[in-house]
Amino acid sequence: MTKKENNVGPKKDTGQVFLVGAGPGDADLLTIRAYQLLLQANVVLFDHLVSKAVMALIPNHIETIFVGKQRSRHTLPQEQINALLVRLAQEGKRVVRLKGGDPFIFGRGGEEIETLAEYGIPFQVVPGVTAASGVAAYSGIPLTHRDYAQSCVFVAGHLKDQSVELDWPMLARPNQTIVVYMGLEGLATICTQLVAHGLPLETPAAVIEQGTLPGQRVLTGTLSTLAAQAVDAQIQSPSLVIVGGVVNLHHKLSWFI
């Protein structure tokens, strides 16, 4: 693979890459643009968060390549995924890079198209319904509400060196909803730190497993109880954590069965 020099742009036979958001799981939440591109692709590179329902929409004649990453278990390192996108496009292929949720929200989409830009590969970005909005909606938990939350913050809860590195003082503010992506492993730490930085023990909190899918489970509690509840219920990934007064609306507004 040779990097383009002097910004001359791609050759005429160079393909194109479409960075596509697959949404949170329910195939009905896929955008029309995303669906059209899946039908027109030569090859689809997909992550582990792309649901089986979405993958079932891809015609059998289209090549699919799994490049998923789960915590420290990577089918391909990110650098190799970037290189693969470049190589497939340089071969003249129409490539769909399919990512769960929205590719620009904790999806490393920016890193991938940075590489494409460096090699002069044409690309487009198709947004998707991010997990925060999709899963919250299917859980009956509004992310904002005049009586409970006037702001909403998205954070990634990845563990690093057995700790979760977040801006706790910023998160532990009243009248705010916190949505934690990939927060299940560090749930106990997240709850403890939010309380240590000022949120009351009785602050409502929820963890949603398999959001928007038929197996969806919504577990509600408080910062003092949720971590233990999640262990007892054997909650598994993919899951999303929501903290704030809006969680109290779940039982009243829940609609998805």
Question: Residues 227, 191: contact at Cβ < 8 Å?
Answer: yes
Confirm if 110 and 17 have CB atoms less than 8 A apart: no
Residue at 126: amino acid letter? V
* HSE-up (13 A, CA, CB side) for residue 3: 8
Closest CA relative to residue 237, chosen from 181, 188, 192, 190: 181
Cis peptide before 238 (omega within 30 of 0): yes
28 tagged catalytic: no
Q: How far apart are CA 55 and CA 96, in angstroms?
A: 12
Residues 6+ apart with CB under 8 A from 50: 22, 98, 99, 100
Candidate list 4, 12, 13, 69, residue with the active-site label = 69
Does residue 252 have an active-site annotation?
no
Q: Return d(Cα 112, Cα 93) in angstroms, integer.
A: 17
DSSP, residue by residue, 50-70: S-HHHHTTS-TTSEEEE--EE
Q: CA 208, CA 198: separation in Å to the nearest integer?
A: 24
Task: Write out the H or E segment, with its range, that includes residue 95.
Answer: strand 94-99
* Catalytic residue (one of 26, 47, 99, 102): 47
In angstroms, rounded to a whole number, what is the distance separating the alpha carbons of residues 3 and 215?
45
Q: Which residues are catalytic?
A: 47, 69
